[in-house]
Amino acid sequence: MNVGDIINVPISHGEGKFLAGEELIRQLAANGQIATQYVDLDGNATADIHFNPNGSLYAIEGITSPDGRVFGKMGHSERIGSGLYANVPGEYDIRMFEAAVKYFK
């Protein structure tokens, strides 16, 4: 993955969204800890419910720990497999777990 890449991630939000105070969000941004955001078709972070289904502040989908070793996110990147998304086009296997294993080996 590279900064600016746009990927499809399965969602199943019944509840929950990213909330934090302005100061903490500024700190996360300054530290480069905002790893992923909900974006529109042009790649712009958005509060539009069509792209940010849970209304997370600043469209934040995932953050990392300060050292980058812990990644918490809302989408379900583990939901991959043949035939799961027959009605929703897109590539859902972003190889996130494969990349993590390679990184830590």
pLDDT at 34: 96
> CB of 99 within 8 A of CB of 12?
no
- Render pLDDT for 70-97 as a digit per residue (tens, 0 to 9): 989 888 878 777 777 777 777 777 777 8
pLDDT at 101: 84
Residue ranges of the chain with pLDDT lower than 50?
Answer: none
pLDDT at 9: 81
> CB of 59 within 8 A of CB of 88?
no
pLDDT at 92: 75
Give the containing element (helix H, strand E) for 82: none
Give Cα separations from 30 to 19, 35, 49, 66 (angstroms). Answer: 17, 12, 26, 11
pLDDT at 8: 81
Burial 36-64 (b: 16+ CB within 10 A, else e): bbbbeeeeebbeeeeebeeebebbbbbbb
pLDDT at 14: 66
